[in-house]
Amino acid sequence: MVLLVQYTILFACILMLVALGGCFSEHSGVINLGLEGIMVMGAMGGALMMRYLPDGTSAFVVVAATILAALLIGMLYSALLAVAAIHFKADQTLVGTAMNILGTAAATVIVKSINTINNPDDHSSIVQYIEEKKAFIVNIGGFEFNWLMLLAVFVLVVSFVVLYKTKFGLRLMACGEHPQAADSVGINVYKMRWAGVLISGALGGLGGIMYITAGVSEWKFEYGVAGFGFLSLAVMIFGKWKPQNIALAALLFGFFRALSNVYAGFDFLVELNIPGGLYNMLPYIVSLVVLAFTSKRSSAPKAEGIPYDKGAR
Amino acid sequence: MGQSYAIEMLGITKRFPGIIANDNISLQLKKGEIHALLGENGAGKSTLMSVLFGLYQPEEGIIKKDGKEVKINNPNDANELGIGMVHQHFKLVECFSVLDNIILGVEPNKYGFLKKNEARVKVMELSEKYGLHIDPDAMIEDITVGMQQRTEILKMLYRDNEILIFDEPTAVLTPQEIRELMQIMKNLAAEGKSILFISHKLAEIMEVADRCTVIRKGKYIGTVETAHTTMSELSAMMVGRDVNFHVEKKESKPGEVLLSVEGMTVASKAHKNNAVKNVSLKVRAGEIVCIAGIDGNGQTEFVHGLTGLEPLVSGKIELCGKDITHSSIRQRSVMGLSHIPEDRHKHGLVLDYTLEENLVLQRYFEPEFTNKAGFLRFKNIRENAERLIEQYDVRSGQGPVTVARSMSGGNQQKAIIAREIDKHPEVLVAVQPTRGLDVGAIEYIHKQLVAQRDAGKAVLLVSLELDEVMDVPDRILVMYEGEIVGEFDPKTTTQEELGLYMAGAKKAEVTVS
Higher pLDDT, A191 or A141: A191
pLDDT score at B410: 80
For position A135, what pLDDT does the model report?
A: 87
Minimum mean pLDDT among B87-101, B339-353, B491-505: which range?
B491-505
Checking if the pLDDT of A86 tops 60, the result is yes
Structural element, H or E, at residue A60: helix A59-82
What pLDDT was estimated at residue B1? 39
Span B401-412, average pLDDT? 86
Selecting from B94, B103, B112 the residue whose C-beta is nearest the C-beta of A168 gives B112
Portion of chain B with pLDDT greater than 70, in percent: 97
Least confident span in B62-66, B236-240, B386-390: B236-240
Q: pTM of the prediction? A: 0.76
Angular region, B15: left φ>0, alpha ψ -120 to 50, beta rest: beta
Whether A177 and B93 lie within 8 Å, measured CB to CB: yes
Contact by Cβ (8 Å): B9, B196 = no
Percent of chain A with pLDDT over 90: 62
pLDDT at res. A144: 85
Does pLDDT of A192 surpass 70? yes
Interface of B with A in 266-305 (CB under 8 A): none
Is the pLDDT higher at A62 or at B499?
A62
- Residues of A at the B interface, defined by Cβ within 8 angstroms: 165-168, 170-171, 173-174, 177-178, 180-187, 302, 312-313
Please give the interface size between A and B, counted as residue pairs whose CB atoms are below 8 Å apart. Answer: 67
User: What is the pLDDT averaged over residues B251-268?
Assistant: 90
Residue A183 has pLDDT above 60, yes or no: yes
Q: Are strands B211-216 and B219-225 parallel, antiparallel or unpaired?
A: antiparallel
B109 touches chain A (CB under 8 A): yes
Q: Residue B441: pLDDT above 60? A: yes
Whether residue A296 has pLDDT greater than 70? no
Average pLDDT, chain B: 89
Beta bridge partners, B354, equal B403
Interface contact flag, B109 A166, Cβ < 8 Å: yes
Residue of B nearest to A299 (CA): B95
How many CA atoms does the CB half-sphere of B455 hold within 13 Å? Answer: 15
In angstroms, the CA B488 to CA B469 distance is 11
Using a CB-CB cut-off of 8 Å, the residues of chain B touching A165 are 113-114
Provide ipTM, 2 decimals: 0.87
Euclidean distance between CA atoms A92 and A212, whole angstroms: 27
| Tens digits of residue pLDDT in A127-138 | 998 888 888 888
Q: Are strands A126-128 and B475-480 parallel, antiparallel or unpaired?
A: unpaired
pLDDT score of B2 more than 50:
no
Q: Which residue has the higher pLDDT, A268 or B155?
A: B155
Q: At residue A223, what are phi and psi to the nearest 5 degrees?
A: -75, -15
CB–CB of B178/B122 below 8 Å?
no
B112 in reach of chain A (CB within 8 A): yes
Nearest CA in chain A to B90: A181
Is the pLDDT assigned to residue A313 strictly greater than 70? no
Please report the pLDDT score of residue B245 as a whole number. 67
Domains, chain B, ordered by start: 5-239 (3.40.50.300), 252-336+425-513 (3.40.50.300), 343-424 (no CATH)
The rounded mean pLDDT for chain A is 91
- Between B244 and A210, the more confident residue is A210
Confidence band for B495, pLDDT divided at 50, 70 and 90: confident
| For B96, nearest residue in chain A (alpha carbons) | A174
Helix intervals (H) in B20-107:
45-52, 75-80, 98-103
| pLDDT tens per residue, range B67-91 | 899 999 888 888 889 999 998 888 9
Q: What is the pLDDT of residues B102-113, one digit of tens each?
A: 999 999 999 999
